[in-house]
């Protein structure tokens, strides 16, 4: 028995309703182009809303000597030379305009007394260039974009799970999916498709992503459509994720807590950063602090829960209440813990996919006609370590550019070529999963996968562990074929979890295979068996399916930018 199928036609389909997807949809609507945005979770609850720290642009409102060129230099340096210089130029040069757009649409930025947008230090930035709204910047950006999309009557479907991008002869003609509530199917015909469905950090045990988001959907949809994945092994582990309660493990404690003077200690009470970065201590970079905490825990100096202590209780109560309101509130709600009195137990947590779908720098095209990828789903800006605040500006800059590119692509089509075979295959995939009645449980397989990634492909990696991980992953993938899917009265979440699982398995394989290939330590990628940086590996690793990893050269950095690259002191600054 077939579920009913809704057929929709639109010029451009946007998959994902976070900051990147909404910004692209707004651009299309402002250009009068027919657009539809779909998401698998309510738009007000997209992952963008969790971003705390701020959004970068060299506005020079606080430090007049700042320039986009310096922002580019800082970004390239912090990427350990793996970022694409052209991508970096486009984002840093277009950043001020991105902030301008937000202001025009009512974003409540923090301001100085004279009305200038306030900017603060963040991570390895040479100047103050991070604009913010309290410690809930992402939430305000998401709200601003939702309001603008509503003004423009952008249609948004909040409960549609896309299972396939439909392709014929290496060009897209739409997508297939189902409704999470009633299981009805969607056939969406579109000239162009913009993939903005996030990263793959949920495939680790502790992550700052919530359940059922960032499970690698973008990777799977892209690869099945004929795209490739670049640098999936480059995953940023945020140093401070909560350990308890279990259902909130990985929830972030904003790095403002360290920026404002928080101290890190191990179980013995030692301020351990003196061993790893005596100059910068708690104000070191994300990758170093995550590695330090990981090492303390691994060597047996961790807390009872397997973490380290982050203590702000010595700070004035007023500082905590005004500068860290969200951290204070979160700990009170989740653990009944008063951070003005007691330390917080934290551990490194998978936070951001710096790699993603392979895209061209200029328009984020994927090499498949009419298919674009943006936001955390894409790659090219962050390399081996992301500058805090860069991901939010990336959404705005490339959301606008790709909206324009998709509009032009759609306008230039003389006909849309469809394929009944591609549609039948997508339909059959959902039918077969719904009929699946095997003994394996989707949730327990998801857990097994997260355990494999945490054990063998976490903060520190080595050859033998990664090979074990591959073997265990192969065994888990064999079991995926025997899952049972049982939609119930509450809807089709079970079917969604089965697709999440397929995505996670593909993303896990891409990550482990490229991590094996990157035999060096660079930025977030720590190989204990290859502790040094290898200049020959200053390349991007491109994965196009099991066992297929190619090296891709990175264009040279323009001289004017290279001249500005320098070690940036982090004294007195918020870390990324």
- For 513-539, the pLDDT digits (tens) are 999 999 999 999 999 999 999 999 999
pTM over 0.85: yes
The answer, yes or no, to whether residue 3 has pLDDT greater than 80, is: no
pLDDT confidence of 332, banded at 50, 70, 90?
A: very high
Residue 305 included in any domain: yes
CA atoms within 13 A on the CB side of 169: 4
Whether residue 467 has pLDDT greater than 80 = yes
pLDDT beyond 90 at 260: no
pLDDT at 2: 62
The pLDDT value recorded for residue 574 is 45
pLDDT, one tens digit per residue, over 198-246 is 999 999 999 998 888 999 999 999 999 999 999 999 999 999 999 999 8
Average pLDDT, the chain: 94
- For the chain, give the percent of residues with pLDDT over 70: 98
Q: Answer yes or no: do 337 and 451 share one domain.
A: no
Q: Are 265 and 378 in contact (CB under 8 A)?
A: no
What pLDDT is recorded for position 573?
Answer: 43
- For the residues 410-422, what does the mean pLDDT come to? 95
Same domain, 442 and 537: yes
Where does a domain end: 302, 324, 351?
351
Note whether 249 and 346 are same-domain residues: yes
- pLDDT reading at 110 higher than 70: yes
Domain presence at residue 266: yes
Report whether pLDDT(568) > 70. Answer: no
**So what's the pLDDT on residue 123?**
67
What dihedral angle (degrees, nearest 10) is formed by the CA atoms of 329, 334, 335, 338?
0
Q: Using CB atoms within 10 Å of the CB of residue 463, give its burial: 0 to 12 exposed, 13 to 18 middle, 19+ buried.
A: middle
Task: Examine residue 558 and state whether it is found in any structural domain, yes or no.
Answer: no
Domain that holds residue 470: 423-547
Among 104-113, 320-329, 358-367, the minimum mean pLDDT is found in 320-329
From residue 138, alpha-carbon distances to 15, 154, 285, 391, 537 in Å are 19, 21, 21, 10, 34
286, 323, 509, 518: which one is catalytic?
286
Q: Is 336 exposed, middle or buried (0-12, 13-18, 19+ CB in 10 A)?
A: exposed
Residue 570 has pLDDT above 50, yes or no: no
Same domain, 442 and 344: no
Average pLDDT over residues 3-16: 95
- Of the two residues 570 and 498, the one the predictor is more confident about is 498
Mean pLDDT of 64-74: 96
**What are the Cα distances from residue 436, in Å, to 183, 428, 440, 480, 499?**
15, 12, 10, 11, 13
- Domain end (from 351, 372, 393): 351
Mean pLDDT of 272-286: 90
In a domain, 555, yes or no: no
The reply to whether 527 belongs to the active site is: no
Mean pLDDT of the region 431-438 = 93
d(CA 376, CA 50): 14
Q: How many domains does the chain have?
A: 2
Same domain membership, residue 542 and residue 436: yes
Q: Report the distance separating Cα 489 and Cα 502, nearest Å.
A: 23
Secondary structure (3-state) at 516: helix
CATH number where 267 lies: 3.90.700.10
Per-residue pLDDT, 284? 83
Q: Is the peptide bond before 307 cis (omega within 30 degrees of 0)?
A: no
Is residue 450 assigned to a domain? yes
Mean pLDDT, to the nearest integer, of 251-277? 92
Q: Which of 509, 460, 455, 458 is nearest to 480 (CA)?
A: 509
In this prediction, what percent of the chain has a pLDDT beyond 90?
A: 84
CATH code where residue 536 lies: 1.20.58.100
- Shared domain for 441 and 541, answered yes or no, is yes
Strands 263-265 and 235-242: unpaired
Decide if 211 is inside a domain: no
Query: Residue 312 burial by CB count (10 A; 0-12/13-18/19+): exposed, middle or buried?
Result: buried
Q: Examine residue 3 and state whether it is found in any structural domain, yes or no.
A: no
Fill in the DSSP letter of residue 179: E
* Residue that the structure tokens 């990147």 belong to: 20
220 assigned to some structural domain: no
Backbone dihedral region of 439: left (phi > 0), alpha (psi from -120 to 50 degrees) or beta?
alpha
Q: Token digits for 381?
A: 């800006």
């Amino acid at each position: 028995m077939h579920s009913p199928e809704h057929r929709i036609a639109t010029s451009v389909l946007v998959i994902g309703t976070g900051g990147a997807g909404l910004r692209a949809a707004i651009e299309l609507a402002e250009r009068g182009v027919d657009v539809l945005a779909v998401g698998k979770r309510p738009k007000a609850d997209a992952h963008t809303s969790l971003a705390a720290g701020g959004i970068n642009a060299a506005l020079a409102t606080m430090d007049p000597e700042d320039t986009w060129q310096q922002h580019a230099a800082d970004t390239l340096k912090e990427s350990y030379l793996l970022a694409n210089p052209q991508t970096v130029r486009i984002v840093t040069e277009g950043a001020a305009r991105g902030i301008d757009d937000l202001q025009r649409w009512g974003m409540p930025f923090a301001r100085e007394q004279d009305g200038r947008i306030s900017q603060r230090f963040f991570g390895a930035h040479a100047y103050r260039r991070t604009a913010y709204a309290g410690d809930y910047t992402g939430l305000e950006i998401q709200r601003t974009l939702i309001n603008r999309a509503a003004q423009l009557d952008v249609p948004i479907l909040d409960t549609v799970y896309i299972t396939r991008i439909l392709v014929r002869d290496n060009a897209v003609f739409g997508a297939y999916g189902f409704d999470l509530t009633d299981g009805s199917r969607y056939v969406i015909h579109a000239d162009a498709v913009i993939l903005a469905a996030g990263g793959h950090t949920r495939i680790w045990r502790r992550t700052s992503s919530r359940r059922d988001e960032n499970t690698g959907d973008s990777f799977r949809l892209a690869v099945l459509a004929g795209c490739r994945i670049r640098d999936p092994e480059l995953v940023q582990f945020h140093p401070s994720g909560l350990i308890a309660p279990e259902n909130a493990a990985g929830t972030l404690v904003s790095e403002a807590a360290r920026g404002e003077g928080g101290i890190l200690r191990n179980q013995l009470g030692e301020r351990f950063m003196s061993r790893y970065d005596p100059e910068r201590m708690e104000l070191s970079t994300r990758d170093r602090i995550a590695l330090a905490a990981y090492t303390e825990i691994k060597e047996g100096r961790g807390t009872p829960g397997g973490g380290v202590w982050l203590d702000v209780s010595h700070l004035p109560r007023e500082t905590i209440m005004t500068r860290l309101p969200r951290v204070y509130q979160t700990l009170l709600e989740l653990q009944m813990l008063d951070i003005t009195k007691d330390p917080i137990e934290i551990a490194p947590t998978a936070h951001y996919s710096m790699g993603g779908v392979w895209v061209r720098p200029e328009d984020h095209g994927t090499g498949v006609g009419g298919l674009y990828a943006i936001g955390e789903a894409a790659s090219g800006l962050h390399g081996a370590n992301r500058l805090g605040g860069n991901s939010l500006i990336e959404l705005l800059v490339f959301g606008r550019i790709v909206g324009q590119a998709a509009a032009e692509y759609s306008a230039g089509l003389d006909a849309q070529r469809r394929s009944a075979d591609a549609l039948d295959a997508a339909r059959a995939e959902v039918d077969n999963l719904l009929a699946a009645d095997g003994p394996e449980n989707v949730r327990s397989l998801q857990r097994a996968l997260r355990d494999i990634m945490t054990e063998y492909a976490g903060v520190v990696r080595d050859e033998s562990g990664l090979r074990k991980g591959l073997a265990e992953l192969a065994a888990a993938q064999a079991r995926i074929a025997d899952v049972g899917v049982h939609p119930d009265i509450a809807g089709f979440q079970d079917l969604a979890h089965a697709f999440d699982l397929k995505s996670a398995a593909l993303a896990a394989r891409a990550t482990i295979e490229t991590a094996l290939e990157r035999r060096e330590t660079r930025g977030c990628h720590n190989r204990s068996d290859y502790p040094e940086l290898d200049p020959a590996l200053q390349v991007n690793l491109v994965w196009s399916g099991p066992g297929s990893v190619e090296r891709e050269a990175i264009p040279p950095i323009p001289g004017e930018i290279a001249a500005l690259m320098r070690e940036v002191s982090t004294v007195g600054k918020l870390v990324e």
